[in-house]
Amino acid sequence: MNIAPDGLNMSIVVAAAAVVKVLISTILHSAIYWVLLLCMFLTEQAFPVSKVVTMSADENNQSNCAACGKGSDDLKGCTACKLVKYCNASCKKKHRSGGGE
């Protein structure tokens, strides 16, 4: 039987070291988890997720220009969002320069 210099059994020292290693590993994993969770929370606060706009079939098949409101059957769909329609290029430019809606 191996006896450590300070009088302890070597198998007890090895077992205690293994327990300490597991505890340290658990604490580090827990700390990393909470740091990542905090980063995700802060990122969400700094860069909020934009809301998704949904439109019904009636809204998508609108017959009014999104910029001027003029009704027509000859409207051209927006190539960027595919949700609104415009009667001409100047209405499209005016509406899109304002950020659209």
- Specify whether 64 is located in the same domain as 81: yes
On whether both 11 and 43 belong to a single domain, the answer is yes
Q: Do 36 and 67 belong to one domain? A: no
- The pair of three-digit structure tokens given for residue 93, joined into one six-digit string: 């430019």
Give the pLDDT of residue 6. 62
Residue 79 structural domain: 57-97
What is the structure's pLDDT at 101? 52
Residue 44 and residue 70 in one domain = no
Residues 37 and 63 in one domain: no
Q: Do both 44 and 62 map to the same domain?
A: no
Structure tokens at 3: 């006896």
Q: Which pTM does this prediction carry?
A: 0.38
Neighbours of 86 (CB within 10 A): 22
Domain count, the chain: 2
Kindly give the confidence (pLDDT) of every residue in the chain, 101 residues in length, as a single tens digit, with 9 standing for 90 and above.
Answer: 555 556 667 788 788 889 999 999 999 999 999 998 888 888 776 666 665 655 554 455 567 888 888 888 888 888 888 888 888 888 888 887 765 55
Residues 65 and 81 occupy one common structural domain: yes
Give every CB contact of residue 67 below 8 A, 6+ residues apart in sequence.
86, 87, 91, 92, 94, 95
| Confidence (pLDDT) at 62 | 66
Pairing of strands 76-77, 85-86: antiparallel
